[in-house]
Chains A and B, each alone.
Chain A
Amino acid sequence: MAMLTKIRRHPEKWSLFRPGDRILLILIGILVGICSGLAAVALSRSLFATLHWVHSFHGSWWAFLLPGIGAAVSSLFLNKVMKEGAGHGVPEVIYSVSRYGGLMRLRSSWSRLISSWLTIGSGGSAGPEAPVVMSGAAIGSNIAKMFSLNERQRVTLVGCGAAGAISAIFNAPIAGMVFTIEVILGEWTALNIVPIAIASVAGTEISRFLQGNNIVFDHRQFNIGFVDILASFGLAVIAALASILLTRLLRQMPGLARKAPLPIWLRAAVGGVIVGLIGAAFPVVLGEGYHSIQAMIDGVFTPGMLLVAVATLAKMLATAFTLGWGGSGGIFAPSLVVGSLAGLTFHRCLTFIWPAVPWVDEGCFALLGMAGLISGMMQAPLTGIFLIVEITGGYEVILPLIIVSAISSTVCQYIEPASFYLKELVDKGQLLRPGTDARVLSDLSVHELLERDCICVTRNMLLRDFVQTVQKSHRNFFPVEDEGTGRFLGIIHLDDIRPYLFDPGLYDAVILEQIMDHQVEVVHPEDELPDILRRMDERRLFSMPVVSNGRFLGMISKATLLDRYRQELRVQTQFIA
């Protein structure tokens, strides 16, 4: 047993892994992919069963209370039992990857599964994808911890978890891979792509093994003409506007909810009841909505143009009330539903205005609308394209699909520079993508940049003795300390006192306290580098003394910073064999 533990702790000792850690990462990646695939299947199966069961109550007058109860229990579970914040899941994973090298809590690997099952299963308008991504990522992170891997490997395994989860829930390996690279990691290297691809395969395979190889939204052949391609430009703009609207609603709602003087679980209940009421009028908004999507793609979604347009808005509101008031879940599935409703609305507008034109089936527009919404919400055009191709099994729509995804994400980026997932992180300055300025500056600390070769002098030193010190020093700065306490008092810059240095008449007449700079701008070791650099720029300084608890530690200078910055950038972007 001790032997086994030893092997597990130090896998690099196995002779198989001598050539490097790639094989090791791939093997662990398979394990992570399987585990997160299982989590995804578990959630989607239990949701399916629960929604079916809850559906039987829909005739009752009190059915609108169900989403409220579900959201309240979910909120209680997450906040009081698990002690985790609400949140959507994906931003938390991105934050952990940026800031903590992918470190995540073990309980995160299942807490979101339960809370989102409660929210969505009872009819709340949210998606199971983000919870599954978070769960998969936490599984990856904790498996990495178990094997005592380093941060780079851990981040790759977090990516494996996310990829496995998305692949399993949508039966879409490429979408899982692309989503992970584009949204979660933001980095595409030869080293991380292979384990993530393998994990996607593992996740997909486990889902196919357990629930069969089904394309999520099967459909008939679409015959796409030139007019449809033209129309897709218009749809792209509609999808972008819908994305912006949904993003804004989701962002404003928590602020509104906080104004309600209610405990957190009661707020979730209120939100859920509102969703239930909307659902009584438009059943399409309830749950994750995959059934409605299928109906729309098949062209059997009956309501007319105005009704569909109102349903689109209703779904957005329902999603905002579910997630903004404390329910738990993601925006993936609601985006798909809103997208297909928007596509349908657009198609009905077109047929209303130009009834003579032979438009393609409305299902095709529903499908394009989904791609537009996903690309717009996440500002991830590749994810939109590959996800829709894979979940619909429709390669023939690829051309309008690319147009809609590209334009929708561009328009959204123009209006909202940071996507829904990243907005909060960007605002807090916590989005640190690999190889960027922010990443390098946040990794370097003041301690690593300290220059300790300054010679300290005391305040009562005569200028004559100081001249001797100047002879020995390589630096232009001389920190002045109190001889008794060692407290930092100020600094002497050679440039400031040059005239006195060559005046022997002053040698015995001046002590250092009289010529030092008392009002010196200092840096503390905990200060953030971007902040320090800003202060240097504002005051046109090239170096600043670093002082901790009144003691001088060293100097920090732009010259050393440039040196270390380049070194860091090279090391971070360099591919490790």
Chain B
Amino acid sequence: MRMTKSEIAECLNLPASTLQRWIRQGRIPIQKKGGEYFFEPGTLQRWAETNRLPFRFLENEPGVKAQNLDGSVEAPPDTLFAAMQRGGVIYDLAAEDTESLFSEALEKIPGVPEDLKPGFLERLVQRERLSSTGIGKGVAIPHPRNPTVDSLERPLISTCFLKKDIDFNSVDNRPVFVMFFLLSPTPKHHLHLLSRLSFCLRNDRFVDFLKTRPAPEDLFARIADVEAALDHKEAF
């Protein structure tokens, strides 16, 4: 099999200069003829295994480039828009204390398997005991203490409007009127979505908009607009 030096170096995740030296010193089963490099894929694969070097052929699809060394494919971080759509919007939660509010919400959130609900509830409450998730301006973002245990496959944010504002020990002591339940499979997803959500909530006009308890379509349209602006800003 024939490849260029830099292609082989990339396959082995080595600097090209190291590869060149190894070929010259005869430490790697690759033959150089003229400007070209020949090898038996099987032999090289075995050699890489005995030397515990990663070896994989490059493919031309761009998605494969993001592949990790252990072969797992990292999903692109989810958008706020998609996560919120998955979580849906719930109106008029009636419960009056934190714990029953959480359990009522978990019952209504779509896409949470029945057997995970007790675990989520317990960890949501645990997190709440550490410190309030009420971030001010009447908004709370409850999330489980540890997102990685028994997790969902994809993150979701469920928007829950309360029937009656409740006291939530928020940082600014204002009663909470809306909760965003954030359930995510990994800390990375969690932070990504949390940072985007709080970016939206920093805008007072958005909070006023939420106070109108908008219909799901209006809410999602607004989120999409804000997120597009955010993506545009990040690109620069």
Given contacts A151-B25, A576-B27, contact A570 B17 (CB under 8 A): no
A447 near B21: Cβ-Cβ < 8 Å: no
**A residues within 8 A CB of B29?**
576
User: Which chain A residues (499-526) contact chain B, with CB distance < 8 Å?
Assistant: none
Could you tell me the distance between the alpha carbons of A151 and B18 in the complex, rounded to whole angstroms?
15
Contact call A152/B51, Cβ cutoff below 8 A: no
* Contact partner, A152, options B18, B25, B46, B50, Cβ 8 Å: B25
Return chain B residues, CB-CB under 8 Å to A448.
15, 17-18, 21
On chain B, the residues within 8 Å of A564 by CB distance are: 18
Cβ contact within 8 Å between A571 and B28: yes
Q: Give the CA-CA distance A564 to B19 in the complex, in Å.
A: 12
Does A221 reach chain B (CB closer than 8 Å)?
no
State whether A576 touches B47 (Cβ < 8 A).
Answer: yes
Residue of B nearest to A152 (CB): B26
B54 smallest CB distance to A (angstroms): 11
**B23 contact set on A, CB distance < 8 A:** 150
Assembly CA distance A443 to B25 (angstroms): 10
Q: Contact string, A156-170, partner B, CB cutoff 8 A, digits 1/0? A: 000000000000000
From B21, B31, B46, B50, A443 is in contact (CB under 8 Å) with B21
Q: Which residue of B lies closest to A472 (CB)?
A: B234
Task: Say yes or no: is A567 at the interface (Cβ < 8 Å to chain B).
Answer: yes
Least Cβ–Cβ distance between A99 and chain B, in angstroms: 12
Q: How many residues of chain B get a CB closer than 8 Å to chain A's CBs?
A: 20
A574 located at the interface, meaning its Cβ lies under 8 Å from any Cβ of chain B in the complex? yes
Q: Which residues 415-443 of A sit at the B interface, judged by CB distance below 8 A?
A: 443
Mask for A541-577, Cβ within 8 A of B = 1, else 0? 0000000000000000000000010010011101011
B46 to chain A: which residues have CB within 8 Å?
A: 577
Residues on B with beta carbons closer than 8 Å to the beta carbon of A10: 33
- Check if B51 sits within 8 Å of A153, measured CB to CB: no
B206: interface (CB < 8 Å): no
The chain B residue with its CB closest to the CB of A471 is B234
Q: Chain B residue with minimal CB distance to A151? A: B25
Instruction: Please tell me the number of chain A residues within 8 Å of chain B, measured between CB atoms.
Output: 22
Whether B51 contacts A571 by the Cβ 8 Å rule is: yes
Is B53's beta carbon under 8 Å from chain A? yes
Inter-subunit contact B51/A570 (CB<8 Å)? yes
Query: For B18, what are the chain A residues with a Cβ–Cβ distance below 8 Å?
Result: 444, 448, 564
Whether the Cβ atoms of B52 and A570 lie closer than 8 Å is yes
Task: Kindly state whether residue A254 has any CB partner on chain B within 8 Å.
Answer: no
Do B17 and A574 touch across chains, with their CB atoms under 8 A apart? Answer: no
Interface residues of B in 24-70 (CB under 8 A from A): 24-29, 31, 33, 46-47, 50-53
The listed residue (A151, A445, A567, A574) touching B50 by CB distance below 8 A is A574
The number of A-B residue pairs with CB atoms under 8 Å apart is 46
Determine whether the beta carbon of B31 is less than 8 Å from that of A12. Answer: yes
Contacts of A572 in B (CB 8 A): 27
B22 at the interface (CB under 8 A from A): yes
CB-defined contacts of A149 to chain B, threshold 8 Å: 26
Q: From A151, A450, A570, A577, give the contact of B15 (CB < 8 A).
A: A450
Residue A101 is within 8 A (CB to CB) of chain B in the complex: yes
Chain B residue contacts of A12, Cβ below 8 A = 31
Q: How far, in whole Å, are A316 and B46 apart by their CA atoms in the complex? A: 55
User: Does A447 contact B15, Cβ atoms closer than 8 Å?
Assistant: yes
Q: Which residues does chain A contribute within 8 Å of B33, judged by CB atoms?
A: 10
- Please report the C-alpha to C-alpha distance between residue A572 and residue B27 in the assembled complex, in whole angstroms: 7
Give the contacts of A93-150 with B (CB-CB under 8 A).
Answer: 101, 149-150
Q: What CA separation (Å) do A10 and B31 show in the bound complex?
A: 10
Contact of B26 among A150, A445, A447 (CB under 8 A): A150
User: Cα distance A564–B22 when bound, in Å?
Assistant: 13
New A-B pairs, 7, CB < 8 Å, besides A448-B17, A570-B52: A151-B24, A153-B26, A447-B15, A570-B51, A576-B26, A576-B28, A576-B29
B contacts, CB < 8 Å to A: 15, 17-18, 21-29, 31, 33, 46-47, 50-53
For this complex, 29 residue pairs linking A to B, each with C-beta atoms less than 8 Å apart, are A10-B33, A12-B31, A101-B25, A150-B24, A150-B25, A151-B24, A151-B25, A152-B25, A153-B26, A444-B18, A445-B17, A445-B21, A447-B15, A447-B17, A448-B15, A448-B17, A448-B18, A448-B21, A450-B15, A567-B53, A570-B51, A570-B52, A571-B22, A571-B27, A572-B27, A574-B51, A576-B26, A576-B27, A577-B46
